[in-house]
Amino acid sequence: MPPKSTLDLEQHRQPLLKILQEVATPGFDRARMDTLLRRFPKGKDGTYSRDELIAAYRAFAGQEPLAPYDPVVIERLRRKPVRTSSGVTPVTVLTKPFPCPGECIFCPNDVRMPKSYLSDEPGAQRAEQNSFDPYLQTYSRLLTYHNTGHPTDKIEIIVLGGTWSFYPETYQIWFIKRIFDAMHDFGQGINRCDEVEAALRDASQLHPERNLITEVIDGGSLPERYNLVVQRVYKDEMTRSYQLAGQIADGQRQRSPIDEFATWDELEAVHRENESAPCRSVGLVIETRPDHIDEAEVLRVRRLGCTKVQIGFQSLNDRVLKLNKRGHTVAATRRAVKLLRQGGFKIHAHWMPNLYGSTPEEDIADYHRMFEDADFRPDELKIYPCSLIESAELMQRYQDGSWRPYTHDELLHVLTEAFRFTPEYCRLTRVIRDIPSTDIVVGNHLTNFRQIVETELTRQGQTSSDIRAREVRFKSVSAGELHLDETWYNSSMSEEVFLQYITADRSIAGFLRLSLPTAEPITEELRGAAMIREIHVYGQSLELGEAASGRAQHAGLGKQLIERACDLAREWGFARLAVISAIGTREYYRKRGFADGDLYQVRAL
């Protein structure tokens, strides 16, 4: 949990009010903030933090000499406003360390973490500090956002850690339910963190005070595989979890807040509560492997409330996949993408240049294949150039000289070509993984490579056209500046239409992904239906029902996009339009004519 401020606001009332008065002045420039804070210091303790200023404004707004509460003032005080500039507030939580079905040679083997993560990555550190507990991770992140001035009503839940589909189903249901429990408690001002933390300290090996695991696998020799070590060092924890889940299921035992068991009925109950809660899920993301996707899995993760799947392509070259012991073929990726599209999911791919056995030119060809081949064409993409981590088996290939990291110029060449070839319908979510440089044996250490690539494109007289590069973010836009643009492309099971409201320079204010299926549906619920796979309106996230002049959010763009999608679906002969709605957006779609189904909402045309 983030530390609570010990600042006595009343004792510091006068300097705080002077700062807040200036911040509330019309036209205040955020660039003046540091100068302002130095003019009114906290005393011997330096300057006031943003958390303290935000707490003071919430306490003093409406008292002389401050005008009544104005969200614009919070916005000016907000730390790292870019975190919510895409229209939602992302909350990332990690699952616990657990065996993984893969043996990829590039993957770290840090047994303190779920597979592929490192204990000193920022998100992983937050997870470890909170004992990998979903309630504590969610609540603490929401509290941090609130204290730093970010909205906490529209949450995109991102569940990372290993292969989600490989965890026990009861753990998955419990994990998601507890995330929703934390959101509901937070929205109502209830804090059960001390109760959860105390239970973890008493019973769980994953509590920081009880977890004494320091083992790190040596990738150069690999005396033991990750799965064997995890099962050995967490044997007691895993046994306890399985036994308690069985006892609870049989009615032999009451549950504590940390017992990893919940039922589908309990999950569906918190889903219903979330539909009108102050803190709502507007997206739920899990990550898995292509070879763990089948029809049943697609429908099961949909039942969990999932709307987007992160899936590791890594490479679209069977030879490279085999050399890196990926454990599946390109055919498995093709099948997984098709099934996920049939289920309406947003597809967020991971792709890795510089894998063992590849070359810069092969990587560029691989990237072209990803968008030229209708079987792939992801909606979002993380580009993770391969970095050598000491615990990875790739160390052996580095030591024998059969693998080396790309030079700076080689990597820049590959990524520049990738950026240049990315279509407007795809969002490059991340370009370099946030691995601390101290963990990288050899390879790229620069975390600002996206900026380096964009600078190179500018030098060549070009720009990136992916969604992230074009978001309106903090720009003011009026309806008159926007026009509707449509991009059509085909997939393995549909015609896809990317509808976007853009300005003259193609900055994007909002978009809708419409699927017009040409293949059999994955469930009878979708028979005869076109599908809205995503609606997103950009700009700084605003509270539910809040409006702001010149902002894309709450300007009616979503409604207009839906009506255009209805027109297109009718023209193609569909009698119904379905939407893969998040739990917290069900109410929004009901107001626009959609009726609840089992897993989707559907509007008759």
Domain harbouring 532, CATH code: 3.40.630.30
Residue 229 lies inside a defined structural domain of this protein:
yes
Strands 346-351 and 380-383: parallel
Residue 575's pLDDT is what? 97
Which range marks the domain in which residue 515 is found?
471-604
pTM for the predicted model, two decimal places: 0.93
CB atoms closer than 10 angstroms to residue 216: 16
* Domain match, 454 and 583 both: no
Residue 464's pLDDT is what? 94
* Domain match, 435 and 410 both: yes
Residue 545's pLDDT is what? 52
Query: Considering 469, 503, 537, which residue would you say is the last residue of a domain?
Result: 469
Residue 251's pLDDT is what? 86
User: Whole-angstrom distance between the N-terminal and C-terminal Cα of the chain?
Assistant: 49
* Domain match, 390 and 405 both: yes
**Can you name the residues that pair with 285 across neighbouring β-strands?**
158, 308
**Can you name the residues that pair with 92 across neighbouring β-strands?**
158
* Domain match, 257 and 396 both: no
Please compute, for residue 148, the number of CA atoms within 13 A of its CA located in the half-sphere on the CB side: 15
* Domain match, 316 and 458 both: yes
* Domain match, 276 and 303 both: no
Residue 247 lies inside a defined structural domain of this protein:
yes
Closest CA to 346 of 313, 289, 307: 307
* Domain match, 379 and 485 both: no
Q: What is the CATH number of the domain that holds 416?
A: 3.20.20.70
* Total of domains in the chain: 4
> In whole angstroms, what separates CA 316 from the centre of its chain?
24
Closest CA to 116 of 217, 239, 250: 217
Are 516 and 569 a contacting pair, CB within 8 Å? yes
Residue 253 lies inside a defined structural domain of this protein:
yes
Are 413 and 360 a contacting pair, CB within 8 Å? yes
* Domain match, 465 and 478 both: no
Residue 5's pLDDT is what? 59
* Domain match, 279 and 322 both: no
Q: How far apart are CA 140 and CA 147, in angstroms?
A: 10
37 sits in which H/E element: helix 33-39
Query: Considering 262, 285, 308, which residue would you say is the last residue of a domain?
Result: 285
* Domain match, 311 and 251 both: no
Residue 42 lies inside a defined structural domain of this protein:
yes
* Domain match, 304 and 352 both: yes
Are 503 and 481 a contacting pair, CB within 8 Å? yes
Query: Considering 251, 285, 319, which residue would you say is the last residue of a domain?
Result: 285
72-87 confidence digits (pLDDT tens):
999 999 888 888 877 8
CA torsion sign for 216, 219, 224, 226 is positive
Residue 7 lies inside a defined structural domain of this protein:
no
Strands (E), 306-402: 308-314, 346-351, 380-383, 388-389
Q: In the chain, which stretches have pLDDT less than 70?
A: 1-5, 539-555
* Domain match, 114 and 209 both: yes
Please compute, for residue 88, the number of CA atoms within 13 A of its CA located in the half-sphere on the CB side: 21
Residue 8 lies inside a defined structural domain of this protein:
no
Residue 219's pLDDT is what? 84
202-221 confidence digits (pLDDT tens):
999 999 999 888 777 888 88
Burial class (CB in 10 A: 0-12, 13-18, 19+), 338: buried
